Amino acid sequence: MSEETNGKQGKAQVDFICPENSCDGIVQFNLNECTTGKIQALCPKCHKPYVFDHELRQKFTKLQNLISAVRDAESILGDCCVSVDVPGGSVKVPYALLLTRLNTMLTLRVGDKTVDFHLWIEPSSPQTFR
């Protein structure tokens, strides 16, 4: 991670719906804290604690690295597009626009259940994606 990116890491919050039976609580934790050490997240509704093992923390670290790579590339995002083929030809969608309109989710198997971890990222600067 570059010095510039490290200096403006920003907030990255992850949440997921508690997979306990009949609980629909939203468990939240800070991705940055999760990747730097052991963290316990607590469901606010059923109070079940969640401790992430080494393998899951490694996956969150890879997600944090992906966020850092996007922040590193911020200066060229305005020049990057994703081309979508449509019946009349193709449409170029600016990559920066995609990042503001798409929801980032990491779907993992936790025990015998599939859990969607939703990622919410605070922009690195007020000018991000403008």
d(CA 61, CA 42): 20
Residues 31 and 13 sit within 8 Å (Cβ to Cβ): yes
pLDDT at 44: 95
Please check whether residue 87 lies inside any domain of the structure: no
Quick check: is 16 in a domain? yes
Residues 6 or more apart from 66 whose CB is under 8 A from it?
Answer: none
Mean pLDDT of 107-116: 83
Query: Is 99 part of any domain?
Result: no
Rounded CA gap, 103 and 120, in Å? 8
- 28-76 pLDDT, tens digit each: 998 888 777 767 789 999 999 988 888 888 888 888 888 888 888 888 8
Answer yes or no: is 17 within a domain. yes
**Residue 5 within a domain:** no
Q: Which structural domain range is residue 52 located in?
A: 10-75+105-121
- Per-residue pLDDT, averaged over 103-116, amounts to 83
pLDDT-based confidence at residue 85 (cuts at 50, 70, 90): very high
- Output the CA–CA distances (angstroms, integers) from residue 46 to 39, 63, 112, 117, 118, in the order listed: 18, 27, 19, 18, 20
Pairwise pLDDT comparison (20 vs 103), residue with the higher score: 20
Residue 34 domain flag: yes
Residue 40 inside a domain? The answer is yes
* Position 89 in a domain: no
pLDDT for the residue 10: 59
Q: What is the DSSP letter of 74?
A: G
For residues 8-20, give the mean pLDDT: 79
Please tell me the total count of domains within the chain. Answer: 1
92-101: pLDDT as tens digits = 988 877 777 6
| CA distances to 12, 80, 90 from 83, in Å | 28, 10, 6
pLDDT of residue 122: 64
